[in-house]
Amino acid sequence: MVLLFLGASGSGKDTQAEIIALKSSFQPISTGNLLRDLSNGASVVQTYIRKSLNDKFSSDELVYGVLQIYLKYCRGEDFILTGAVRRATQITKLDDILEKIGQKVDFVFNFQISSELAIERLSGRLFCRVCKSNYNLKTKNSKIEDKCDKCGSILSTREDDNPESIKIRLSEFYKYNTEIVEEYSKRGILANIDASRSIEDVAKEIDMHLHKLIHKEDNII
Ligand code: AMP
């Protein structure tokens, strides 16, 4: 089963994907993380990718080239894609690469949040470069200051969590999101989630939807 999480930076998509992954067979795949991993280094390609992360959204060719390779070699069948669709042109691109591995987008969660709250959350975000866990100084602090609870690595802030880059990313997001949400709504596979609530409350609502989805699949089989 493939779940797609839509939502502005700071809406909590990756945090919720991590929570689901801890208690299920779903693997979180963040296109942002895939690109960040490829951007470490000083080669021309690495520099190009790094620049694209701080600029407007990366090109479809780059994101989908990388995602296609990743999915091809990924084990398992249950994925949560976070941020994989950010422009309407990517809807059919995602359909195509999923079809190649015998999958489709089964359900979409649209994390809704105001830009003011997104900016507030991003200003407190910390990130583990090693295991990709997300933390937040205000809403999800690590047990030991600046250390990842899962792997013990030192936490850092993301290079693109600076006011200028946040502004660009959010304005790009709002430019395209309505069209994307409309398409998945038309397909009847989208749930809107009020992402301004606590991590626990959002997790409970997603659980409820997942329970129904998985139950429906069982009945079909
Ligand atoms: P994230 O970690 O989800 O905040 O993504 C970080 C950055 O990766 C974004 O600001 C984009 O530059 C790039 N990115 C990730 N996914 C996509 C996508 N589907 N389309 C275009 N750019 C993307």
| Probe target for ligand 1 pocket from 15, 29, 63, with the most ligand atoms within 8 Å of CB | 63
Looking at the predicted structure, is the pLDDT value of residue 216 above 80? no
pLDDT at 197: 97
Confirm if 134 and 140 have CB atoms less than 8 A apart.
yes
5's enclosing H/E stretch is strand 2-7
52 ligand 1 Cβ < 6 A: yes
Looking at the predicted structure, is the pLDDT value of residue 220 above 70? no
Looking at the predicted structure, is the pLDDT value of residue 105 above 50? yes
Please give the Cα distance from 133 to 164 (Å, whole number).
24
31 ligand 1 Cβ < 6 A: yes
CA 58 – ligand 1 centroid, Å: 6
| Probe target for ligand 1 pocket from 57, 81, 98, 168, with the most ligand atoms within 8 Å of CB | 57
Please give the Cα distance from 201 to 196 (Å, whole number).
10
- Using one digit for the tens of pLDDT, what is the confidence trace for 4-51? 999 999 999 999 999 999 999 999 999 999 999 999 899 999 999 998
Q: What is the pTM of this model?
A: 0.92
Q: Mean of the pLDDT values across residues 144-157?
A: 95
- Using one digit for the tens of pLDDT, what is the confidence trace for 176-212? 999 999 999 999 999 999 999 999 999 999 999 999 9
**Closest Cα to atom 19 of ligand 1:** 84
Looking at the predicted structure, is the pLDDT value of residue 221 above 60? no
Q: What is the mean pLDDT of the chain?
A: 93
Q: For residue 30, give both structure tokens.
A: 């963040």
pLDDT at 219: 59
Ligand 1 atom with the smallest distance to the CA of 14 is 3
9 ligand 1 Cβ < 6 A: yes
**Closest Cα to atom 2 of ligand 1:** 32
First to last CA, the chain: 13
Tracing tokens 């979409």 back to the chain, one arrives at 108
Looking at the predicted structure, is the pLDDT value of residue 218 above 70? no
pLDDT at 146: 94
State the Cα angle at 84 between 163 and 34, rounded to 5°. Answer: 75
Looking at the predicted structure, is the pLDDT value of residue 54 above 90? no
Please give the Cα distance from 169 to 166 (Å, whole number).
5
Strands 2-7 vs 79-82: parallel, antiparallel or unpaired: parallel
| Probe target for ligand 1 pocket from 86, 132, 173, 174, with the most ligand atoms within 8 Å of CB | 86
CA 32 – ligand 1 centroid, Å: 4
